[in-house]
Amino acid sequence: MPSPRFLTALPVFDEVQYVNEVLDLVKQYSDEILVVDDGSTDGTTEQLQRRDDVRIVTHTENQGYGAALRTAFEYAKEHDFEIIVTIDCDGQHEPQRIPEFVAACTKSVDIVSGSRYLTQFPDDTPPPEQRRKINQTVSTELSRRLNIKLTDAFCGFKAYRTASLDKLTPTENGYAMPLELWVQAAQANLNIIELPVPLIYLDEARSFGGVLDDAATRLEYYHLVLDRSIAKCEMFA
């Protein structure tokens, strides 16, 4: 059986420190790479323009993590990729795991999601405590309210069957877009599995941007998006 045609997509915003190193690693495991440059202003755009081995879509202004993922999803569908793998560009994911995610994304599995909490790896570097607590709180709430089993709500390392993306219509532009996605995936009865990935935090002071750097404000934002997404799905149930 031939291997599925897959695209590895990286949402990128101001990653000049990591972008070339990460892309060089991803190239070892993926022939087709898309970078969604979400309005970078730190030199990332110029670095990308020097490469001829990746596909690039550029947002002229920063629109947000969720918006960058939506652009990647649409690109994968328009260019007839069977699977899209998403991986962050901050050095916190291991590209050598890409083939494992692709292999797990079979016709009976719609979404393969990385989890940093399924297995403990020898070189794990735990996140700041407040980030871990927020992730744990939201993951537990998602599992309870959506009746799905999820241990890591926010891991950006995922594989999606492109055909299944037609059942998802996320609109959230920011970091809470995955919560909207989980709600819609649960409503559509998509088959979701998790694969363990290491905990790698290279920059504990990494900013979410603006008021979201405050943990209480960030959790409130997550709950707002989750409640709104559930209410919207119930309206059309």
pLDDT tier at 168 (50, 70, 90 boundaries)? very high
Q: What is the pLDDT of residues 84-113, one digit of tens each?
A: 999 998 878 889 999 999 999 988 999 999
Domain-located, residue 229: yes
pLDDT, residue 123, reads 77
Domain-located, residue 65: yes
SS3 string, the chain, reads: CCCCCEEEEEEECCCCCCHHHHHHHHCCCCCCEEEEEECCCCCHHHHHHCCCCCEEEEECCCCCHHHHHHHHHHHHHHCCCCEEEECCCCCCCCHHHHHHHHHHCCCCCCEEEEECCCCCCCCCCCCCHHHHHHHHHHHHHHHHHHCCCCCCCCCCCEEEEHHHHHHCCCCCCCCCHHHHHHHHHHHCCCCEEEEECCCCCCCCCCCCCHHHHCHHHHHHHHHHHHHHHHHHHHHCC
| Number of domains comprising the chain | 1
> What is the CATH classification number for the domain harbouring 49?
3.90.550.10
Domain-located, residue 105: yes
Where in the sequence is the domain holding 191, given as residue range(s)? 6-235
Domain-located, residue 1: no
pLDDT, residue 82, reads 97
Task: Say what the pTM is.
Answer: 0.91
